[in-house]
């Protein structure tokens, strides 16, 4: 069964992002995406974004729609990876995006993150990987000071935010807790 979510702002507002509905895919809600991009509205222009655990690609695509220079998508599920590629082609965003079929944690631990201003980390819930991804990001010596990290996790579980991150904003929406963090080095 195919579903879609709408881009909520920017030059692509109202366009759809299709995805294959299944229990393991949980796209960020329209409400939460609007909150996130309200937080970032005065600084997103020309950002270079990294969408780890990209899923539908909605966060990175929304960032481009709202003025980000480009988005880099990392997705390990083959079906989701192919959906993201076809969506970027349909929206004519191929020149502003890169999509890799890789494991997000492994990729983030081994690659240069210095060009990214904003990293989206929306891993599958209940997998105990939210803390792991923050630790990997904090231990990657190329992560730029002042890089912002957007993290989602289940509000029914608590996570420890490493001391190298400052919580700028946090919000509960439904069963999701969202954080906007800044890396302080």
Between the CA of residue 61 and those of 47, 58, 75, 158, what are the distances in Å? Answer: 12, 5, 14, 28
| 89 vs 13, more confident | 89
| Assigned superfamily of 2-183 | Vaccinia Virus protein VP39 (3.40.50.150)
Question: What is the torsional sign of CA 54, 81, 30, 177?
Answer: negative
| DSSP 8-state code for residue 89 | H
> What pLDDT band is residue 1 in, cutting at 50, 70 and 90?
very low
- Model confidence pLDDT, tens digit, residues 143-174: 998 899 999 988 888 888 999 999 999 999 98
Phi-psi region of 23 (alpha: psi -120 to 50; beta: other; left: phi over 0): alpha
Q: Environment class of residue 20 by beta-carbon count within 10 Å: exposed (0-12), middle (13-18) or buried (19+)?
A: middle
User: What residues contact residue 23 under an 8 Å CB cut-off, 6+ apart?
Assistant: none
- Model confidence pLDDT, tens digit, residues 112-134: 999 999 999 998 876 678 989 99
- Model confidence pLDDT, tens digit, residues 26-79: 667 778 888 899 999 889 999 999 999 999 999 999 999 999 999 999 999 998
Q: What is the pTM of this model?
A: 0.92
């Amino acid at each position: 069964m195919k579903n879609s979510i709408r881009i909520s702002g920017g030059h692509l507002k109202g366009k759809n992002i299709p995805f294959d509905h299944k229990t393991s895919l949980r796209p960020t809600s329209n409400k939460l995406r609007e909150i996130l991009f309200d937080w970032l509205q005065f600084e997103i222009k020309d950002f270079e974004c990294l969408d780890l655990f990209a899923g539908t690609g909605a966060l990175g695509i929304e960032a481009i729609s709202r003025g980000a220079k480009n988005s880099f998508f990392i997705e390990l599920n083959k079906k989701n990876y192919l959906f993201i590629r076809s969506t970027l082609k349909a929206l004519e965003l191929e020149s502003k995006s890169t999509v890799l079929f890789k494991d997000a944690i492994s990729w983030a631990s081994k690659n240069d993150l210095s060009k990214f201003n904003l990293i989206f980390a929306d891993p599958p819930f209940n997998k105990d990987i939210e803390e792991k991804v923050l630790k990997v990001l904090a231990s990657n010596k190329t992560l730029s000071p002042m890089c912002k990290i957007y993290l989602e996790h289940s509000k029914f579980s608590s996570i420890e935010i490493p001391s190298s991150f400052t919580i700028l904003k946090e919000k509960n929406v439904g069963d999701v807790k969202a954080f906007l963090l800044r890396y302080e080095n």
